[in-house]
């Protein structure tokens, strides 16, 4: 809800006093309806639900005693719109405007459950009453994401009520910058943006670098397709990012910060902007923070749609108003970065972890995870998976557990084939390696990488050659063109992959791809090029047979590559309903109707003219009887 | 000198672009931001507008044009009355986004990245909208359509009037 204008907090005591008063005030509201307004739920219409709830509550005279809270993403996008009713935590899914009246009358007023809105576990058929009982949430460990469902991202009061800015207060009052850096180093926190560099060590380099001013930067570019966790943090809990940055700035000795946000995320820009203003008003950002004499300001820069701008040097060039092409990093950006000054860049999720560590200590953080990968990691679990959404698990959990326990397995009884991890820089991991724990080193060893945390699940209907071609196409388009190996290498690899998908592959193509891939890996200028071959090399490593089938037999076993498949109708299965005939955009289907009169009336099964067929799949989709088959 | 040059070009009034640029002149590093604001104002970046911005910011035209072509969120063409955006993210891809885009291209008679001559429709594909649970996703004038099938495309196109 709207923030009441409050004077700047001049001390830590004033912060704590404000927090207490907010908590007292919030306790007066017995019931809260938390409505997920993440991107997924909004697309399903949660924006409209807010209005309908407000109307329904007003009708019952409950507008003052029940709070409707529009929150950020709860993660379980598959089942949106999501509604949680506190204090009991009753969890409703797929809520529509027509359900609202009943929710208010029964659940809000009388605490009754509405059975049909509860989540039913597809395997056990058990109904879950709260989020904790849902398999998707049960196996998670939500820290960075812990408060997303509990706060309105546009309200700093909500963030303060759940303990926000206590980490900052502690850092400023109890820790010297060096001790703070020591704590972050000891926690084992590593960058969540892909590289996995030790955060404390980066901070130390920047602190010790010569030159003024120093810059503290947040990478919210999130360019990996299929990844949206940074978005959900920026949109759903923007203050956690700001708090992390202020703590980092204090440790590093910087007074200026920038957040670089991807062009496609207008809501993130809006919520971060609101958060910055609110934090400034309360003196948690800006001059003389909490009366300690420490100054730090943050500006937001919007990206303009270039994947390469997620790379550190390109990002800095972009903030400077230039074309975002990377430079070689003989000299680290911690020494010479933005505007030629020492700069410390961390990812959104990395920053959001910082307040947690300061609050609960390095030991607590490092007790989670594997030997070298500590804490939790947020993944976006998407593709051919039952429970699409954002999941946060401790490092060291196996991919199998993420996919089957949290994700609920593969839909429609299909078989798992591979999981792509790490986006365009990552790789495909097959069934046989699913017990691999999520850990920076172990994933890299398999030819994949943690990346930013996109997990794209593929089933037997996904063609791995097509996926490799997809990523190569992406990288080829996004390559900035500055260095030759990446610019030309991605283009040639794409050409070869395209040929293979068209059935024009040659026996040497696989070896060529491998040789070229290794060259591009070794000789490119920035991370885009050095990792560009990963999707190809990892699929060649684990799915070479599928490549060979494309090249030698001119067949696509998954039924994806257009030039290698044909569509036909099984006459016995065809009911002559003519749906396919209507769906075909090029009039390639004849028959599919009934002919004659009375007793002589016969069914004529549909027939696809192969010369006319453009393989658009419309008939396959339209057929309700599985009569259109792909071979 | 607004007005002087614009007499020769069509009706595009570049004064708003000049005003936005003038507000930022002090910070030489904000050209990307200026172009973003100018695009919000005009819907796209025409040659005239880019020229005006370059002049106002005291940078070579090539620099402004370079940025406008490097960053994919800048458009050098006007958008249609209905702007249709197809997500090509990985999650959408594995669920058949390529077929959806192709069908839209066929049905609208324009390729991705183009605007129809009557300025009614424009079609664009983007790398990822971050609404992966809904894939394949098509956004029509900011309204999201999730789990789109080719039949939904028929409906979407029919509703464009
Ligand atoms: C081509 C390319 C794209 C990248 N995109 C992103 C991105 O979208 N978000 C991000 O946080 N890091 C991205 N990175 C990694 C950054 O360069 C950098 O390592 C990271 O932001 C540092 O923060 P961290 O140590 O907290 O991970 C990208 C790197 C490359 C080479």
Domain extents in chain B:
15-70, 82-160
Asked if A181 and A317 sit in the same domain, the reply is yes
Percent pLDDT > 70 in chain A is: 99
> What is the bridge-based pairing of β-strands A454-459 and A416-421?
antiparallel
Pocket test for ligand 1, best of A189, A204, A219, A326 (most atoms within 8 A of CB): A219
- One-character DSSP codes across A148-193: TTTS-TT-HHHHHHTTTTHHHHHHHHH--HHHHHHHHHHHT-B-TT
- Cis-peptide into A87, omega within 30 deg: yes
Asked if A133 and A267 sit in the same domain, the reply is no
> What is the bridge-based pairing of β-strands A256-261 and A297-302?
parallel
Nearest chain A alpha carbon to B153:
A618
A223 CA closest ligand 1 atom index: 8
A329/A326 Cα distance (integer angstroms):
9
For residue A231, which residues of chain B lie inside 8 Å, CB to CB? 130
Average pLDDT over residues B59-85: 93
Q: How confident is the model at residue B26 (pLDDT cuts 50, 70, 90)?
A: low
A531 CA closest ligand 1 atom index: 31
| Residue B8 confidence (pLDDT) above 60 | no
List the single range of A3-7, A39-43, A81-85, A169-173 with lowest mean pLDDT. Answer: A3-7
A158/A72 Cα distance (integer angstroms):
12
| Contact (Cβ atoms closer than 8 angstroms) between residue A626 and residue A580 | no
Asked if A361 and A392 sit in the same domain, the reply is no
A155/A71 Cα distance (integer angstroms):
10
Asked if A63 and A85 sit in the same domain, the reply is yes
pLDDT digit string, tens, across residues A181-237: 999 999 999 999 988 999 999 999 999 999 999 999 999 999 888 899 999 999 999
Asked if A337 and A229 sit in the same domain, the reply is yes
Q: What is the mean pLDDT of chain B?
A: 87
| Residue B7 confidence (pLDDT) above 70 | no
A163/A364 Cα distance (integer angstroms):
17
| Beta carbons of B133 and A470 less than 8 Å apart | no
- The alpha carbon of A308 and the centre of ligand 1 are apart by a number of angstroms equal to 9
Please, which residues bridge with residue A377 across strands? A393
Asked if A454 and A543 sit in the same domain, the reply is no
ipTM: 0.89
The range of the structural domain enclosing residue A498 comes to: 464-552
Q: What is the pLDDT of residue B10?
A: 54
Asked if A291 and A323 sit in the same domain, the reply is yes
Q: Which of B45, B49, B52, B65 is CA-nearest to residue B25?
A: B52
| Residue A281 confidence (pLDDT) above 80 | yes
| Residue B1 confidence (pLDDT) above 60 | no
| Contact (Cβ atoms closer than 8 angstroms) between residue A108 and residue A85 | yes
Find the residues whose C-beta lies inside 6 A of ligand 1: A 191-195, 197, 219, 221-223, 308, 310-312, 345-347, 350, 452, 526-528
Domain ends where: A138, A154, A172? Answer: A138
Average pLDDT over residues B62-85: 93
Asked if A127 and A204 sit in the same domain, the reply is no
Q: How confident is the model at residue A357 (pLDDT cuts 50, 70, 90)?
A: very high
Please, which residues bridge with residue A85 across strands? A33, A90
| Contact (Cβ atoms closer than 8 angstroms) between residue A185 and residue A204 | yes
Asked if A358 and A385 sit in the same domain, the reply is no
pLDDT digit string, tens, across residues A329-340: 889 999 999 999
CATH 3.30.310.50 for the B82-160 domain, yes or no:
no
Asked if A108 and A167 sit in the same domain, the reply is no
Average pLDDT over residues A413-427: 93
Asked if A330 and A389 sit in the same domain, the reply is no
| Residue A370 confidence (pLDDT) above 80 | yes
Domain ends where: A366, A385, A403? Answer: A366
Domain ends where: A552, A586, A607? Answer: A552
List the single range of A127-131, A595-599, A626-630 with lowest mean pLDDT. Answer: A595-599
């Amino acid at each position: 809800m709207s923030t009441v204008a409050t004077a700047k907090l001049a001390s830590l005591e004033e912060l704590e006093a404000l927090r207490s008063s907010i908590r007292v005030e919030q306790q007066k509201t017995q019931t809260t309806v938390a409505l997920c307004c993440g991107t997924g739920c909004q697309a399903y219409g949660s924006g409209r639900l807010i209005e309908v709830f407000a109307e329904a509550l007003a009708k019952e005279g409950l507008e003052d005693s029940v709070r409707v809270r529009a929150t950020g993403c709860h993660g379980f996008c598959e089942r949106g719109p999501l509604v949680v009713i506190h204090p009991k935590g009753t969890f409703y899914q797929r809520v529509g405007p027509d359900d609202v009246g009943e929710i208010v009358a029964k659940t809000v007023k009388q605490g009754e459950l509405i059975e049909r809105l509860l989540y039913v576990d597809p395997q056990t058929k058990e109904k879950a009453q709260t989020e904790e009982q849902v398999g998707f949430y049960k196996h998670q460990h939500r820290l960075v994401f812990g408060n997303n469902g509990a706060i309105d991202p546009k309200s700093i009061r909500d963030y303060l009520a759940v303990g926000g800015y206590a980490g900052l207060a502690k850092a400023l009052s109890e820790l010297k910058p060096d001790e703070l850096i020591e704590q972050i180093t000891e926690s084992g926190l590593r960058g969540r943006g892909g590289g996995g560099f030790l955060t404390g060590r980066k901070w130390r380099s920047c602190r010790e670098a010569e030159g003024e001013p120093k810059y503290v930067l947040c990478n919210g570019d999130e360019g990996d397709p299929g990844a949206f966790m940074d978005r959900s943090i920026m949109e759903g809990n923007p203050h956690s990012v700001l708090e992390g940055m202020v703590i980092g700035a204090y440790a590093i000795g910087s007074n200026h910060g920038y957040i670089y946000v991807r062009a496609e995320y207008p809501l993130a820009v809006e919520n971060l902007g609101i958060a910055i203003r609110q934090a400034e008003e309360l003196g948690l950002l800006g001059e003389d923070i909490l009366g300690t004499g420490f100054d730090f300001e943050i500006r937001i820069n919007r990206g303009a749609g270039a994947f390469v701008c997620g790379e550190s040097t390109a990002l800095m060039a972009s903030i400077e108003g230039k074309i975002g092409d990377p430079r070689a990093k003989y000299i680290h950006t911690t020494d010479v970065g933005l505007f030629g000054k020492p700069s410390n860049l961390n990812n959104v999720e990395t920053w959001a972890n910082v307040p947690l560590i300061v609050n609960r200590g390095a030991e607590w953080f490092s007790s989670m995870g594997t030997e070298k990968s500590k804490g939790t990691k947020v993944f976006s679990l998407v593709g051919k998976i039952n429970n699409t959404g954002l999941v946060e698990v401790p490092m060291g959990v196996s991919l199998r557990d993420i996919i089957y326990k949290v994700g609920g397995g593969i839909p429609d009884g299909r078989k798992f084939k591979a999981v792509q991890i790490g986006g365009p820089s990552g790789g495909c991991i097959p069934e046989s390696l699913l017990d691999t724990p999520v850990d920076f080193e172990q994933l890299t060893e398999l030819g994949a990488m943690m990346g930013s945390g996109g997990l794209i699940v593929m089933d037997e209907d996904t063609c791995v050659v097509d996926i490799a071609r997809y990523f190569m196409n992406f990288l080829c388009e996004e390559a900035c063109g500055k260095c030759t190996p990446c610019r030309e290498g991605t283009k040639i690899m794409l050409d070869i992959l395209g040929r293979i998908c068209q059935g024009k592959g040659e026996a040497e193509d696989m070896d060529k791809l491998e040789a070229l891939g290794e060259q591009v890996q070794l000789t490119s200028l920035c991370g885009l090029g050095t990792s560009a071959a990963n999707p190809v090399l990892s699929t060649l490593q684990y799915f070479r047979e599928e490549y060979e089938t494309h090249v030698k037999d001119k067949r696509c076993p998954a039924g994806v590559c257009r030039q290698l498949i044909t569509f036909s109708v099984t006459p016995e299965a065809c009911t002559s309903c003519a749906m396919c005939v209507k769906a075909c955009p090029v009039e390639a289907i004849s028959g599919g109707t009934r002919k004659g009169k009375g007793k002589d009336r016969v069914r004529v099964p549909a027939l696809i003219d192969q010369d006319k067929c453009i393989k658009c799949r419309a008939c396959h989709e339209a057929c309700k009887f599985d009569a259109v088959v792909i071979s | 000198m607004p007005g002087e040059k614009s007499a020769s070009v069509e009706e595009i009034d570049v004064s708003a672009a000049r005003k936005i640029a003038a507000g930022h002149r002090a910070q030489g590093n904000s050209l990307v931001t200026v172009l973003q604001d100018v695009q919000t104002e005009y819907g796209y970046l025409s040659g005239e507008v880019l020229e005006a911005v370059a002049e106002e910011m005291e940078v070579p035209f090539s620099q402004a044009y370079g940025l406008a072509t490097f960053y994919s969120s800048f458009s050098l063409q006007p958008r249609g009355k209905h702007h249709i955006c197809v997500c090509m993210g990985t999650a959408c891809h594995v669920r058949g986004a390529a077929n959806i885009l192709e069908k839209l291209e066929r049905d609208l008679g324009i390729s991705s990245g183009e605007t129809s001559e009557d300025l009614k429709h424009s079609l664009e594909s983007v790398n990822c909208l971050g609404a992966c649970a809904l894939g394949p996703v098509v956004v029509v004038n900011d309204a999201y359509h999730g789990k789109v099938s080719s039949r939904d495309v028929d409906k979407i196109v029919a509703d464009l009037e």
